[in-house]
Amino acid sequence: MKRHRNVKIVATLGPSSSDYETIRALHAAGADVFRLNMSHGDHSEIRARHDIIRQVEKDVDSPIGILADLQGPKLRVGTFQDGSAELEVGQSFRLDLDDAEGDETRVKLPHKEIFDALEPGAALLVNDGKIRLKVKDCGRDFADCEVVVGGTISNRKGVNVPDVVLPLAALSEKDRKDLHFVLELGVDWVALSFVQRPADVEEARAIVQGRARILSKIEKPAAVRSFEEILEASDGIMVARGDLGVELPVQNVPPIQKRLVRKCRAAAKPVIVATQMLESMIESPMPTRAEVSDVAAAIYEGTDAIMLSAESAAGQFPVEAVQTMDNVAAEVESDPTYLEIMAASRTAHRESVPDGVVSAAREIAEATDVLAICCFSESGTTALLTARERPQVPIIAMTTIRLTARALCLTWGVNPVMTGDLDRFKTAVVYAVRAARTILGAKPEDNIIVVAGVPFNTPGSTNILRVAPCEERLIFRQEPG
């Protein structure tokens, strides 16, 4: 399915979007990838949503990506005698390992790892930062704090610790069970929460073993500080602005977002900008002007994908939210300023033969009358390198591997297509012409660029570029075998 924009849309499924009709409508409205949030819904619900997506994929005869988002460790306070307590600015408040119910002076924090890492002066944020504590003294089983920002603290509210790297693995016991489950289902991407260091990604990769791509969620200051190493270890990135905005001053988040998006693009790895993009559409059929500007800003930055969370999972207008994103994206990408920004932000990459080939393909496409760039890639790397160039013509990525086709649904400008085995470059041209005719309505007089590597099925072998006409004789040529 050819979209009228290059940026991809990720839609989260949930109570508002769990039936076949809604999921198909979401795809028709513009959703390229569906997110299964492992924080909500049991395995039977997740399986049902997964199966519906695959049925929609079969019915529309076009690859659809599925992203399973793992919950990650959840740090929470214990319970209170009266269900809650009021904290005043300047008062003392203790966090400890005592099982007794809390009051206005203390509460249990059942995470010994936090106490092991805390130091005097560290900040503790409760309930998405609505309550802020400063550690005055601490030990192996307690932290005496001063209340910096007070308010109501209640049962099992979340705790953020922005100032230290916690000795916690990114995969909890629940995450490990969920990971094995979604890998059995056959998801295409796995999103890791609570990533602090590249070792967190490698731990997950040892379990995944190539059965899915790994996407790291950047939601902690430690991840921002180690971003280059985390990016190298990951297949993709999600800029999770919600938790970043809790653990960092909110004014820090926009420049961090812009910086991370550019680094992902330079590395030819897809990046999603997520959280509260159209938040008001949970209850309203129309977004705010500020939300539209936020979505547009991410697109102008060159992000690969933009994501809906509660808007499509639990909101009253899930299809309208996707349609709004699609409309904004189409409008932004038709703006001449957008093309100027993409060209100005392009950095030269001439480190390898594949880098040079895809760069030449983009230059030829923009200097001549070429309809599309068609690339063959089993791993998806050639398509990723082509997308990094942000060409002004569509990209058709052809592969024999279904996981590759589905994973590329997350990559800017790429139209993934399943194709037959290749025996020689002439066959590649035939398949490319057929795809251009089917997806783009190419005419015999149109030209396409075909990029491939010989020998076929060899990673990193991209070494051929040909400008080919979409001739009728190529459409009806018999396939080998």
Active site residue 35: yes
Count of residues in the chain: 481
Which uninterrupted H or E stretch holds 201?
helix 198-208
Nearest to 141 by CA among 106, 111, 101: 111
Is residue 299 exposed (0-12), middle (13-18) or buried (19+ Cβ within 10 Å)? buried
Please state, in angstroms and rounded to a whole number, the distance separating the CA atoms of residues 188 and 32.
Answer: 12
Show Cβ contacts of residue 304 under 8 Å, excluding neighbours closer than 6 positions.
7, 8, 236, 264, 265, 270, 271, 272, 387, 410, 411, 412
Structural contact between residues 103 and 83, judged by C-beta atoms closer than 8 angstroms: no
Is residue 415 exposed (0-12), middle (13-18) or buried (19+ Cβ within 10 Å)? buried
Please state, in angstroms and rounded to a whole number, the distance separating the CA atoms of residues 456 and 382.
Answer: 12
Structural contact between residues 249 and 224, judged by C-beta atoms closer than 8 angstroms: no
Q: Widest CA span of the chain, in angstroms?
A: 82
HSE-CB for 108 with a 13 A CA cutoff: 13
For residue 221 the two structure tokens come to 């200051």
The active-site residue out of 108, 217, 265, 269 is 217
φ, ψ for residue 170, nearest 5 deg: -70, -20
Structural contact between residues 441 and 371, judged by C-beta atoms closer than 8 angstroms: no
The active-site residue out of 3, 74, 76, 130 is 76
> What DSSP character marks residue 287?
-
β-sheet bridge partners, residue 213: 189
Active site residue 381: no
Nearest to 310 by CA among 284, 292, 331: 284
Q: How far is CA 221 from CA 127, 134, 150, in A?
A: 18, 17, 23
Active site residue 275: yes
HSE-CB for 431 with a 13 A CA cutoff: 27
The active-site residue out of 35, 106, 213, 390 is 35
In the three-class reduction of DSSP (H, G, I as helix; E, B as strand; rest coil), residue 359 is classed as helix
Active site residue 390: no
Residues serving a catalytic function are 35, 76, 217, 275
